[in-house]
Structure 1
Amino acid sequence: MADQHPEGINMPDPTEIAETMAAISEKSQEMVQSFLKKQSEQNLDKDPDPMRIGQAFWEMSQRFWADPDQALKLQADLWQGYNNLWQESARKYFSSQQIEKESPSPEKTKDRRFKDEAWEDNPFFNFIKQSYLLTADSIHKSVKDVEGLDESHALKVDFYTKQFLDALSPSNFLITNPEILKATAETGGQNLLQGLENLIADLDKGRIKMTDEDAFTLGENIATTPGEVIYQNELMQLIQYAPTTDKTHTRPLMIIPPWINKFYILDLKAKNSFVKWAVEQGFTVFMISWINPDAKLAEKSFEDYMIKGPLAALDAIEQATGSKEVNAIGYCLGGTLLASTLAYMAEKKDTRIKSGTFFVTMTDFTEAGELRVFIDEDQLVALEKRMAEQGYLDGVEMGTTFNMLRSNDLIWSFVVNNYLLGKTPFPFDLLYWNSDTTRMPAKMHSFYLRNMYLDNKLIQPGAIELDNTPIDLGKVTVPTFMISAKEDHIAPWKSTYANTQHFSGKKEFVLAASGHIAGIINPPAAGKYSHWINKETPETPDEWLDNAVEHPGSWWGHWAQWAKKKSGKLIPARTPGAGKLKSIEPAPGSYVRIR
């Protein structure tokens, strides 16, 4: 099959190849020495397996071999699959027939690892791909079908087996990826030399470079919606955005973003900025911009984020506009804080928030999705120990966790592009934001993970106290609008649907296509992704979906119609800094710039 390698390759000069290989060797030695030096500086007394992955796989292996009939069946199925593959590959190769394009399943169609035509057209690479998929499927089945595993161990085995199989994909290696082989031959190995330099630079930074980070500047070509910071405290700045309409609705709109990431996911480029669009709809928009905390804020709690976040913002908005009432939006963790705040305010008879919109928000963590693999007692103890040492959870560590949920897209695709093809990632505003990680205060993060993810106390009336006040989500009676995403790996939509059963008052649930980010950041002008509407909120998410109607395009317009009905009459537009609170600095402010 030697003649089946990719065609059209211009072979470089042998001297050039030798020089390149020598340079690669030198760079490799530098990288290894740097790695060994860092390893020698590590604390060798640390727990070698804080996530108890080894323990989970040990239990799996014991139970797997306890059922020899199942093991033999899996081996027989794998052997039969390979036998069929060999016969089909041999037939196509020796008959010199072109490989027929299969009609792959929708799931395989999405597999961008094998987008190069050689994976289909070249018998050699097609066999490599098919044998990998066959083996990976067999291995995954062998661990997924093991009975009697502890639920926590079963989650770990399933998740880390997928990570292992993704890492071993032939697309990730020079010798088995036709695109890399072609690039290496055509450049005389310069792609590998540049890739090593990219790798060394990323090792110094401690993260994979996902985009051209020099292509973006906050306030210039990203997070550009005009506005002013009109209030700040040690945890947040409050931005009031400048109106673009002559009149705005009486009741302002307060947005509570997650503090796991920066707020400007809602204000990327102008064409996909939710903030800009909301301002254009006639809303007076206020945005909380959270601080990127350091060790000085280690003792800040979840209730501190409530008191110095939305509650402080309500006071500031009243001073700035004269309005005591607002509508509020909470995104992800910001939505969990909004729900908690509404329950707290219900106990205090505080009615200043008149409606709540929840973007991909969980309050019921019964089915918390793949993130559950990182959250159990052993792992929390290890995490709390690390946070106690530095006062916070490092943003890079948090970012790595989320990237692992989509490792092929957010890890291995960049390994191939940056290190093997030697390319520089192209400018992409969403990936720039994704790389702009934030830290999490130790006390707050421990409280959040233990009381919500681990013990699921938020849905238990009175189980959580904030500012010495037991809270109950069932006492949240304001109108609520919930938007979730069908392919969300972080906040699974069926889990977020549970909000409809915990809140009181009038509710509407809408489901968007795509995932945690793209499902939300979907401007109407883009004409992408659909959404499902069902005015009723039955007990189960499946029942809701069975009776939902799919609509093309963005859900933003549907939400705006809902929100405008709750925003009061139109009045002359308000200018930031014209009220009792003067401008501190222009948007996007200084807190968001802390990296």
Structure 2
Amino acid sequence: MTTTERKEETDSVARMERLNANLARIEELTQRLTAAISARRSHDAALDGPASDVYLKAAASWVAGMMRDPGRMLEQQIGYWGKTLKHYVEANQVLAKGEFKAPSDPFPKDRRFANPLWETHPFFNYLKQQYQLNSEAMTGAVGQMETLSPEDKKRVDYFTKQIVDMFSPTNFLGTNPDALERAVETDGESLVQGLENLVRDIEANSGELMVTLADKEAFTVGGNIATSEGAVVYRNRMFELIQYTPTTDKVHKTPLLIFPPWINKFYIMDLKPQNSLIRWIVDQGFTLFVVSWVNPDASYADVSLDDYIRDGYLRAMAEVRRITGEKQINVTGYCIAGTTLALTLAHLQKAGDKTVKTATFFTTLTDFSDPGEVGVFLDNDFVDGIERQTAQDGILSSLFMQRTFSFLRSNDLIYTPAIKSYMMGEAPPAFDLLYWNGDATNLPARMAVEYLRGLCQQDGFAKGEFPVFGEPVNLGQVQVPLCAIACETDHIAHWKGSFNGIKQMGSKDKTFILSESGHIAGIINPPSKGKYGHWTSAAQPGGTPEAWLAGAEKTPGSWWPRWGAWLAASSGAMVKARAPGGPENPVLCPAPGTYVKPAAAQN
């Protein structure tokens, strides 16, 4: 036996040993997986998907269309059959010539199919093209359902696309060339590591499957993210108030108070120094306060939107005034916190209270007549289920909210990360934004249902019917000067809906800014990046969003400096910089405080 032959035999034995070892690990992991799944707590089935009537309506509409215009329906079906048959024949003709290659591919590029084998290998290319033909046929059939109401059609279209995305061949091991190549290269190690990742995620979420998007060990809140210097200067059951340490000798007289959404934690505005909105605001010479909301447990079950307004908004405003000695303050609300800020401003207007000088709204919906993409989850099938589940749990769990928002971008936030983690065996990346995205919070049961029923479903604020402290308020009562920033591709608070709410507000001084990008990247867009531009118009928000945009001017780069100048014009003269706290508000602890930390770190 030659040296080469002996080496090959030794390598073969070693690879077989590694393979057998991996098989043994798979058996052990399978037992852990079974135990983890068995720990899954039952929950209302309505939270897992739309009610069956969505599909029944779709089927009924398709049959009605077939009966009314069979020719058009048959044309659609025959067209699909013809394309499928043509694709099959072309693939076989290439193979019949003895050429191991794929036929011509007419479909546009899709980043899911980046591996060259999707283009060159006959098997993988055939799967890809047939999947794309199937997808085209399904979405085309939905487009022809004319008897559905606009709302039902939107839901059928959305959930059809979810099904189409789920069945992509990239989502299955046997039809994913990247995963198969990695498994061969690693003698099955990648599959074992992928199973390890899967078991870890299911164990971490009490039997539920949620893909870990970021390395949880790579970041520490207050360590390498959320590091802007400041202090907690007030705390109650609802929030901690953080005052940030000035970085300039003088500051504007009027302080700024930011209310972040309590669906996630505030430090999205303070991830790293180079993209920290909080640090940028302080560097511009503003006295900045930020609310850090508590992450509620079942003991908060009966907390309402009124409680958030009374013990959150009004209390925080009072403490900022006490600490700074100023009669008026500027305020900002982000997403749901912007919605609730608008409710608070309407209440203050009715009460004749002049506490707020100006207001800024980040990606805020107040008119829910068209809730946008997220509206597919606001029908009674989902909301009824949420109401039943929250009555049992006392909270709307962050798990259900994370899953819902992830499905709005399923390829980016579910399937692609799952492929990398479970099929490729890769470790989650050290990505601060995705770490924050996974650090979600719960909602109190009563507040969640009030928001979903009264604001989202019934559009009570825009109709002047939603009560604050028992008295109905309306958008016309929001009369302070305001600036609103919406984001062009926002999938949570779509910009046209935000525009429609702002134009109904009673303020005579409105500035509307449309930023490029989405719900997070469009807001956290530091000038130093020179990345996303924004649109503005000298005209007050009115008419249709499309007409406003047609007359707007686009400016390259971040909207932050434009907003900073707008804010400065309403923030008074420069005064000596203020250190955090005061005689009646001693420093309780350093920023970012305790409420933002994981539950284990708060004890």
TM range (shorter): over 0.9
For 2:24 and 2:161, the matched residues in 1 are separated by 36
Q: Is the 8 A contact 2:333 2:360 kept in 1?
A: yes
1:534 paired residue number: 537
For 1:328, the aligned partner's letter is V
Query: Against the structure 1 CA distance between its residues 277 and 89, is the aligned structure 2 distance closer, same or farther, given a 3 Å change threshold?
Result: farther
Distance 1:117 1:51 in 2: 35
Corresponding residue of 1:7 = none
Report the more deviating stretch, 357-366 or 63-72: 63-72
Q: Counterparts of 1:93-108 in structure 2 under 5 Å?
A: 94=97, 96=99, 108=109
1:439 is matched with which residue? 442
Once the two structures are superposed, what CA deviation does each residue of 1:525-553 show, in whole Å capped at 9, x if it has no partner? 11111111112123100001111122211
Deviation at 1:82, TM superposition (A): 2.1
Whether contact under 8 Å (2:47, 2:385) holds in the other structure is no
Q: Secondary structure at the match of 2:52?
A: helix
Partner AA of 1:336 in structure 2: T
The amino acid of 2:509's aligned partner reads: K
Report what 1:360 is aligned to: 363
Contact 1:65 1:71 in 2 (8 A): no
Is 1:521 equivalent to 2:536 in the alignment? no
Percent identical among aligned pairs is 40
Query: How many angstroms does 1:104 deviate by?
Result: 6.6
Provide the C-alpha distance between the structure 1 equivalents of 2:451 and 2:530, rounded to a whole number of angstroms: 37
2:559 matched residue in structure 1: 555
Counterpart amino acid of residue 17 in structure 1: L
Q: What code does the residue aligned with 1:542 have?
A: E
C-alpha offsets along residues 92-123 of structure 1, whole Å, 9 cap, x if unaligned? 66485977997975xx5xx4322223323434
CA deviation map 1:173-214 (0-9, x unaligned): 111111111100000111110111111110112222110011
**Corresponding residue for 2:193?**
194
Match for residue 582 of structure 1 among 583, 586, 592? 586
Matches within 5 A, 1:75-474: 75-86=77-88, 89=91, 94=97, 96=99, 108=109, 111-206=110-205, 207-461=210-464, 463-474=465-476
- Tell me if the contact between 2:257 and 2:330 (Cα under 8 Å) persists in the aligned partners: yes
Q: Does the 8 Å contact 2:270/2:278 carry over to 1? A: yes
Quick check: 2:46–2:382 contact (8 Å CA) kept in 1? no
Q: CA deviation at 1:50?
A: 7.9
Q: Which amino acid aligns with 1:113?
A: R
Letter in 2 for 1:147: E
Take 1:521 and 1:253, find their aligned partners in 2: how far apart are those partners? Answer: 18
SS in 2 for 1:338: helix
Q: How many residues align?
A: 577
User: Once the two structures are superposed, what CA deviation does each residue of 1:348-397 show, in whole Å capped at 9, x if it has no partner?
Assistant: 11111111111110000011112222212343222111101111100111
Residue 307 of structure 1 and its aligned partner are, at CA, apart by 1.1
Three-state SS of the structure 2 residue aligned to 1:229 is strand
Residues 142 and 101 from structure 1, CA distance in 2 versus in 1: closer, same or farther, beyond 3 angstroms?
Answer: closer
Q: Determine if contact 1:219/1:587 at 8 Å carries over to the other structure.
A: yes
Do residues 491 (structure 1) and 487 (structure 2) align?
A: no
Contact 2:302 2:446 in 1 (8 A): yes
Q: Which amino acid aligns with 1:117?
A: P
Counterparts of 1:454 and 1:418, CA distance in 2:
37
Q: Look up the equivalent residue of 1:72 and give its one-letter code.
A: L
Query: Do the aligned partners of 1:243 and 1:573 also contact (CA within 8 Å) in 2?
Result: yes
**Native 8 Å contact 2:36 2:202 kept in 1:** no
Q: Secondary structure at the match of 1:148?
A: coil
**Is there any run of 5+ residues in structure 1 with no aligned partner, and where?**
1-9
- The 8 Å contact of residues 298 and 391 in structure 1, kept in 2 or not, is answered as yes
How far is 1:509 from its partner?
Answer: 1.0
DSSP 3-state at the match of 2:217: helix
The CA distance in 2 between the partners of 1:49 and 1:464, in whole Å, is 26
1:506 matches 2:509: yes
2:52 to 47, 51, 54: 54
- 1:395-438 per-position Cα deviation (integer Å, ceiling 9, x unaligned): 11111110010010000111101100011111111111110110
How far off its partner does 1:579 sit? 5.1
Tell me, yes or no, if structure 1 residue 565 matches structure 2 residue 555: no
**Which one-letter code corresponds to 2:535 in the other structure?**
W
Change (3 A) 1:169 1:437: same
Task: Give ranges in structure 2 of 5+ residues lacking alignment.
Answer: 1-10
**1:51-99 deviations in whole A, cap 9, x for unaligned?**
5532211221122123332432222121232244345545666485977
Which residue identity is paired with 2:62?
A: F
Whichever residue aligns with residue 382 of structure 1, its letter is G
**CA displacement 1:229-270 (0-9 Å, x = unmatched):** 101111011100000011110011110111111111111111
Counterpart of 1:397, as a letter, is: F
CA contact (8 A) 1:237 1:290 kept: yes
> In 2 relative to 1, CA 385–49 (structure 1 residues): closer, same or farther, beyond 3 Å?
closer
Question: Which range moves more in the overlay, 192-201 or 59-68?
Answer: 59-68
Cα contact 2:258–2:332 (8 A) shared by 1: yes
Amino acid at match of 2:307: D
Classify the secondary structure of the residue corresponding to 1:484.
Answer: strand
CA gap 1:201/1:72 in 2 versus in 1, 3 angstroms: same
Contact 2:361 2:485 in 1 (8 A): yes
Change (3 A) 1:186 1:53: same
Q: What is the RMSD computed on CA atoms of the aligned residues?
A: 2.3
SS of the equivalent of 1:313 reads helix
> C-alpha deviations, 1:423-458, integer Å up to 9, x for none?
111111111111011010011111111111100010
For 1:533 and 1:50, how far apart are their aligned partners in 2?
Answer: 41
Which is worse superposed, 482-491 or 575-584?
A: 575-584
Match of 2:75 in 1: 73
Q: In 2, Cα distance between the equivalents of 1:98 and 1:38? A: 48
C-alpha deviation, 1:314, in angstroms:
1.2
Please say if residues 509 and 535 of structure 1, whose CA atoms lie closer than 8 Å, have aligned partners that are also in contact: no
Q: How far apart, CA to CA, are the structure 1 residues paired with 2:85 and 2:515?
A: 43
**Structure 1 residue 459: Cα displacement:** 0.8
1:503 CA displacement? 1.1
Residues 494 and 413 of structure 1: CA distance in aligned 2, closer, same or farther (over 3 Å): same
User: Distance in 2 between the 1:298 and 1:48 partners?
Assistant: 20
Tell me the distance in 1 between the aligned counterparts of 2:496 and 2:130: 35
SS in 2 for 1:568: coil
- CA-CA distance at 1:468 after TM superposition: 2.8
Describe the shift of the 1:591–1:190 C-alpha distance in structure 2 as closer, same or farther (beyond 3 A): same
Q: What one-letter code is carried by the residue in structure 2 that aligns with 1:62?
A: A
